Amino acid sequence: MKTVRIVCTLLSSVSVLLAQPRISVDRTTVDLGVIYNGTVKIARVVVKNTGKDTLKILGVYTSCGCTTVKQPKAALKPGESDAVEVEFNSTGFRGKISKHVSIQSNDMLSSQVVVSIVGDVIDELEPVNRSSVVWLGAIPMGKTVEHPIALKNVSGKPITLRGYKSSSEQIIARLEERSVLPADTIRVIVRVTPKKMDYSSEQLLLETDSNKQSQVPIRITFVGVRPN
């Protein structure tokens, strides 16, 4: 009788498990390929309920603020599917990237599915020092500091700068040249005048005539301090 009870218990447990929701994704790695710095890439991951009960999506989370997602339906019936739309903003990144999207559900056997987002962020105008950020240190409020930035044309074609956009009135730029040939460098003079006593992280967008990378982002950081 004891054996019969054990067998019945096991069969009951298997039956319960078979009746549960099951989460499935069409891929666990999304390769965005080559991404030009400053552009946004979008990919879709299909989520499907392959189980016998309603699959509840408890949340979709990203490992980085640079990656956002469009949440799928909160509940999927057996056999039903929906898509998680993943959006990666490459601004400020250079080289190989690896981010993660975590999909959490009420699947008892796999409550969390992790999808990797990979790619290679490149520039057509690449900073000579390969740095993503220009750090200017402490600058007295009201004082103007100039800093040159050298950019190399690695695109294999001539590029012309059309202008720039700044995220703050504290930063302006002077374009000493407008056109740069392949493998040559071009200088941009950044002028910073702090207007507050605080750490600032601002962005300068160089506008180009390229249809692959129409804007080249440069991050400018500094701390405004009290004048002597």
pLDDT in tens, 57-68: 999 999 988 899
pLDDT in tens, 7-54: 445 444 444 556 699 999 999 999 999 999 999 999 999 999 999 999
Superfamily in which the 125-225 domain is placed by CATH: Immunoglobulins (2.60.40.10)
Residue 18: per-residue pLDDT: 60
Residue 228: per-residue pLDDT: 80
Alpha-carbon gap, residue 66 to 37, rounded angstroms: 12
Domain ranges within the chain, ordered by starting residue: 23-122, 125-225
Q: Are 217 and 205 in contact (CB under 8 A)?
A: yes
Alpha-carbon gap, residue 99 to 66, rounded angstroms: 9
Q: Are 69 and 83 in contact (CB under 8 A)?
A: no
Q: Is 228 exposed, middle or buried (0-12, 13-18, 19+ CB in 10 A)?
A: exposed
Q: Which CATH number fits domain 23-122: 1.20.5.510, 3.90.870.20, 2.60.40.10, 2.40.10.410?
A: 2.60.40.10
pLDDT of residue 87 exceeding 60, the answer is yes
Residue 221: per-residue pLDDT: 96
80-107 average pLDDT score: 94
The DSSP secondary structure of 172-215, one letter per residue, reads EEEES-SEE-TT-EEEEEEEE---SSSEEEEEEEEEES-SS-SE
Residue 22: strand, helix, or coil: coil
3 falls in which pLDDT band (50, 70, 90)? low
pLDDT of residue 56 exceeding 50, the answer is yes
The continuous run of DSSP H or E covering 44 comes out as strand 40-49
Alpha-carbon gap, residue 35 to 99, rounded angstroms: 14
Whether the model clears a pTM of 0.85, i.e. scores above it, the answer is no
Residue 177: per-residue pLDDT: 86
Residue 221: count of CB within 10 angstroms of its CB: 14
The continuous run of DSSP H or E covering 83 comes out as strand 81-89
pLDDT in tens, 191-204: 999 999 999 999 99
Alpha-carbon gap, residue 64 to 108, rounded angstroms: 27
Residue 8: per-residue pLDDT: 47
The percentage of residues in the chain with a pLDDT greater than 70, rounded to a whole number, is: 92
Domains 23-122 and 125-225 share a fold: yes
Residue 145: per-residue pLDDT: 96
